[in-house]
Amino acid sequence: MVRVVRYVTKGGKDYFDEWLQDQDAETKARVQTRIDRIELGNFGDHKGVGDGVFELRIDCGPGYRVYYGLDNETLVILLCGGTKKQQARTINEPLIKCDSGMQGKASRS
């Protein structure tokens, strides 16, 4: 089993949750389904985007992306989300947010 948590900054900001709450019910359900599959060890369509950050590609709507880091083989840290159209900008956000060595804390997903 893989444990999935959300990255929360020292100031208490959860970028992933903020993004997810802005999505419609269907998108939230699809994202949660992918997270559930990760917990079972099935990452599905994903790839590395650099500096230890990976993206889950969710083929619905505008092409949703969920960005995450791995602390070890059994811990996934959700960073933020976006769409394929926002990809170039969104990819830099988790890299910058985690550049400080993940100094925030992880909270349960």
What are the mean pLDDT values of the chain's consecutive 10-residue runs (109 residues total)? 89 90 94 95 91 87 88 82 66 53 49
* Overall pTM > 0.75: yes
* pLDDT at 94 (0 to 100): 53
* pLDDT at 104 (0 to 100): 47
CATH architecture for the domain at 3-108: 2-Layer Sandwich (3.30)
Domain ranges of the chain: 3-108
* pLDDT at 105 (0 to 100): 47
* pLDDT at 38 (0 to 100): 94
* pLDDT at 29 (0 to 100): 96
Q: Whole-angstrom Cα distance, residue 32 to residue 93?
A: 21
If phi > 0 it is left, if psi is from -120 to 50 it is alpha, else beta; for residue 103 that is alpha
